[in-house]
Structure 1
Amino acid sequence: MTPPKPASRPDKVSLWTYARLFRRDILSAQPERLYRAWMAEFRTPFFRSFLVNQPDLVAEILKVRPDDFPKSDRIGEGLRPLLGNSVFLTNGETWKRQRRIIDPAFEGGRLRDTFPAMWAAAEAAVARLQEGKVEIEALTSHVAADVIFRTLFSIPIDHEIAAQVFTRFRDYQRSQPILNLAAFIPLPRWMPRFHRRATRDAARDIRALIGRLVEQRQAEIAAGTAPDDLATKIMTTRDPVTGECFSGAEMVDQVAIFFLAGHETSASALGWAMYLLATHPEWQDRVAGEAAEMAPEFSAISRLRISRDVFREALRLYPPVPMMVRTASCPERFRDRDVPTGAQLVLSPWHLHRHARLWEDPDGFDPARWGTENGRTCQREAFLPFSAGARVCPGAGFAMVEGPLILSMLVRAFCFAAVEGREPVPVAHLTVRSREGIWLEVTRRG
């Protein structure tokens, strides 16, 4: 069974039609030809953009010369009410300083320290799940948020403030498209950003709640009673260049992106992984068999090879962040095309992961591909679920422990089957989700 794709749009539409499609769902706005193109150019009255799929050019932008291609401010306009000046949106020296403080918290040894919290969150998810028809994205959102709060602040999702953040984030996710008007029309700084009122209100509430957690942790650090979790590690790490720590306001920005990146993206990937297993029962049985003897020890993660390949395949087919945009800071020439200063360079995991000239059976679900020569080559050159190069997600290793672990524990306890007539349709707002949720039939595994 081939996993569902969104419908492609016609190759020629007006700018305003395209903007409307892009605002509603960036996936169905994409023409079929882009799944074969190495590079494509789009011109509007306000800017020029280039979709880049050629692997060596993607590497040039992300790995070889990242400072020449900073993150585009256009995409950040839609997320700034929640994320402020977080590491996800900044560039240059500000971004480098932020990464110098954040990166040590996600080094290899810290994954072992966070594993018990991940296991506890997964156990809680198994205990909550009931038999019957279940909208599985609600479950994956809940468990991913639980993991973030347990590992970041040592509190479970049913903690008063954590529960409020989770609830308001669901409101934010439903009201916030990935792009707003400023993505299409350059607006002066003094002009309003046209964020929806519901988006602004939810972002304000979330940041206020996060601020309370940060203030409490600052007091615990000062008193010497703070737990040794990710929040404490980040808040007590000094920039080796300046000797400064994050201020409270800066920490609110960073926690906001940790929650968005660590919760929203993991929930997306887990939801699609569950659906793929539900529609491929032979792989579901293999995951369950592998997980049968799993013990609550960090070393167990290295033995979850099948689950890891399934999760990786879900990230390929449904990358949570479907597109990344960079800006050309100087004139370039790519594939005999002039790329002017200020042009937008779109790097699209959604297209790259399904590119017909790179992958064997690009639209098929095949976790075994990662052991083939084609799969290994494409993993190096055409697989960007966490970006790549200097701006690779610092939580990539975290996600590759969390995802296979939760997947294995759920499948060990339950069987999942697709619900007839409820095939999910992928759409993208903050991340790639299903338009009307992912509905699965859940029965307890005998």
Structure 2
Amino acid sequence: MIPPKPPSRKGKPSVWRFLRDFRKDILSAQSGKLYRAWMAEFRSPFIHSFTCNDPKLIALILKERPEDFPKSGRMAAGLAPLLGNSSFISNGAIWRHQRRIIDPAFEGGRLRQAFPQILAASDAAVARLGPAADGTPFDIEPETAHVAADVIFRTLFTLPIEDETANAVFSAFRTHQDAQPMVNAGGLLALPRWLHFHSRRTKASAERIRGLIAGLVEQRAERIAAGDAPDDLATKIMTTPDPETGALFTPTEMVDEVATFFLAGHETSASALAWALYLLARSPEWQDRLAAEPEVRDFSRLRDIPAARAVFRETLRLYPPVAMTVRTTTRPETLRDRKAPKGAQLVLSPWHLHRHERLWEQPDAFDPARWETENGKTCQREAFTPFSAGPRACPGAGFAMIEGPLILSALVRAYRIEQGTAEPVPVMRLTLRGKDGISLRLTPRIRA
């Protein structure tokens, strides 16, 4: 089964085309040659850029010498109103300090502790979708955003999404997603900092989100001081000192990180879940395989849903939520015999890497069974980066690989999923979304 992807641009690259089309779709502005190229060089008045698809180059940038290729400051400028200087966009000593505090919160034991909260959010999603499961087409993206937000608030602050503040943050994030079309384009085009601007709507939604999060952080700090705080991720992070300096996160730093968890954990999970449900709607045989797997109510039984895990992994391959990222050279480099000056932009594109015609067998096909093949296993090690790789890999990757399959399993056991009114068109915003949503039909699944 071949799901849709945006049409690729033909002809020579043009920065003016990017400037004209970035609000519509950055992906279709990319050259179709990137699905076969190991590297592509691009020059414009603003940029000297290299798109890197060679697994050896990606390993060099992300794993072997990551500090020589920091995250793009231009991309950071686009996200700063919301994320401040969080671990998602910071570099160097500040980033190392942040990760020394954050990483322990996502260790294996903490994932086991978070499992009941993920399960509760999953159960709530099944119940919430009941009234919509009458065969009428509807956009599934707001629903997957809802359950992903529910997971974040339950695991971070032990609050369901129905909580007034949690719901307000969720609503404000939906506004912010629509208000931020230029973040990725600014980074990919390496526009001068003076050309980066934020609309009043963007600034207002970011300020609203940060204000709400600041209230939650303040309340949690009071409960920690009183000795009655729940043992959740927020408490763990706020009470973990940097093992090298002994410093705790300041309130502002904690707001930065909570906003990042919401962006990285909520937006990305919502995107992946929506595309996974769409892929299952197009693949009834895999949908039935998921439905036949046992219900998981205990952390130790997650191994019993291998089909759900394979489908979720294949979704991350075909529709990576973060479709492109940008690194920067800190000194002159030689990349595949080409000279890259200091300050050059290195575009890492999971979208193209995961569909690369010289790496993957049937790269555009939806085939969850590929992960058991030799090609699939090799590519998983060398050419699969939905959570990035190396020291800067997403600390919540393990969390996501529990959350996604568990929610998918629960929804497919409860409902049969069919395609809606139109094929979705993937576009790159803050995360990979359907241009006009993702239309599906749900009906209750009849069980013997």
Common fold, TM-score beyond 0.5? yes
What is the aligned counterpart of 1:281 among 276, 279, 284? 284
1:422 matched residue in structure 2 = 422
- Matched with 1:85 is 85
Aligned residue-pair number = 441
Maintained 8 Å contact 1:53/1:352: yes
* 1:83/1:257 contact within 8 Å kept: yes
Shift of 1:44: 1.1
Aligned residue for 1:34, secondary structure, equals helix
1:172 aligns with 2:173: no
String of CA shifts for 1:104-130, please: whole Å, max 9, x gaps.
Answer: 000011000000000000000000102
> How many Å apart are 1:183 and its aligned residue?
5.8
CA contact (8 A) 2:387 2:394 kept: yes
SS at match of 2:46: coil
Given that 1:77 and 1:183 are in contact with CA atoms closer than 8 Å, whether structure 2 keeps it comes out as no
Question: Any unmatched runs of 5+ in structure 1?
Answer: none
SS of alignment partner, residue 427 of structure 2: strand
1:42, 1:77 → 2: CA distance? 22
Cα-to-partner distance string for 1:255-313 (whole Å, 9 max, x where unaligned): 000000000000000000000000000000000001xx324100121211110000000
For the 8 Å contact 2:46–2:192, the answer to whether it is kept is no
TM-score (norm 2): 0.96
Structure 2 CA distance for aligned equivalents of residues 370 and 95 of structure 1 = 33
Which residue in the other structure is 1:319 paired with?
320
Take 2:268 and 2:70, find their aligned partners in 1: how far apart are those partners? 22
Match in the other structure for 1:435: 435
Of 141, 154, 157, the match for 1:153? 157
CA deviations on 1:139-168 (whole Å, 9 max, x unpaired) are: 100000000000000000010100000001
Structure 2 SS opposite 1:28: helix
- Taking a change above 3 Å as real, the CA distance of residues 382 and 84 of structure 1, as seen in their structure-2 partners, is same
Letter of the 2:334 counterpart: R
Once the two structures are TM-superposed, the CA of residue 13 in structure 1 deviates from its matched residue by 5.0
Partner of 1:270: 273
Opposite residue 386 of structure 1, the aligned amino acid is F
Inter-CA distance 307–192: structure 2 relative to 1 (3 Å threshold): same
State the partner residue of 1:345.
Answer: 346
- Whether the 8 Å CA contact 2:119–2:406 is kept in 1: the answer is yes
**Any idea what SS the aligned residue of 1:24 has?**
coil
The residue number in structure 2 matching 1:135 is: 139
Which residue of 1 is the match for residue 256 of structure 2? 253
Matched, 1:124 2:128: no
Deviates more, 1:193-202 or 1:433-442: 193-202
Deviation at 1:338, TM superposition (A): 0.4
Matches within 5 A, 1:183-332: 184=189, 186-187=191-192, 191=194, 193-290=196-293, 293-332=294-333
Distance 2:269 2:322 in 1: 11
1:142-200 Cα shifts (integer Å, max 9, x gaps): 00000000000000001010000000100000111233657646545xx5841111111
Q: What is the CA–CA distance in structure 2 between the aligned matches of 1:328 and 1:410, rounded to whole Å?
A: 44
Q: Which amino acid aligns with 1:61?
A: I
AA at the equivalent of 1:396: A
Provide the rounded CA distance (Å) in 2 between the counterparts of 1:18 and 1:134.
32
**Cα distance, 1:12 vs structure 2:** 2.3
* Secondary structure in 1 matching 2:45: coil
Query: TM-score, normalised on structure 1?
Result: 0.97
What is the rounded CA distance, in whole Å, between the counterparts of 2:190 and 2:143 in structure 1?
38
Give me the whole-angstrom Cα distance separating, in 2, the residues matched to 1:300 and 1:355.
34
Q: Residue type matched to 2:138 in 1?
A: V
User: Quick one: structure 1 residues 37 and 26, their matched pair in 2 at CA, closer, same or farther if it must change by over 3 Å?
Assistant: same
Tell me the alpha carbon deviations over residues 302-333 of structure 1, each in whole angstroms, 9 at most, x when there is no partner.
Answer: 21111000000000000000011111111111
Question: Could you say which residue in structure 1 is the equivalent of 2:379?
Answer: 378
Q: Is the 8 A contact 2:26 2:185 kept in 1?
A: no
Q: CA deviation at 1:20?
A: 2.5
Letter in 1 for 2:145: S
Corresponding residue for 1:52? 52
Q: How far apart, in 2, do the equivalents of 1:134 and 1:299 lie? A: 35
Which sections of structure 2, spanning at least 5 residues, go unmatched?
none
Distance 1:23 1:42, change over 3 A: farther
Secondary structure at the aligned position of 1:437 is classed as coil
Instruction: Please state how far the C-alpha of 1:11 moved relative to its aligned partner.
Output: 2.5
Answer with 177-186 or 428-437: which moved more: 177-186
Does structure 2 retain, via aligned residues, the 8 Å contact 1:180–1:194?
Answer: no
One-letter code aligned to 1:264? E
Match of 1:10 in 2: 10
1:83-139, CA deviations, whole angstroms, 9 ceiling, x for partnerless residues? Answer: 111100100000000000000000011000000000000000000102132311111
Whether 1:356 aligns to 2:360 is: no
Percent identical across equivalent pairs? Answer: 63
1:306 counterpart letter in structure 2: A
CA distance in 1, matches of 2:445, 2:191: 55
Contact 1:328 1:341 in 2 (8 A): yes
> Offset of 1:376 from its aligned partner?
0.1
Which residue is 2:63 aligned to? 63
Distance 1:72 1:334, change over 3 A: same
1-structure distance, mates of 2:359, 2:186: 34
CA contact (8 A) 1:144 1:267 kept: yes
CA distance in 2, matches of 1:355, 1:416: 29
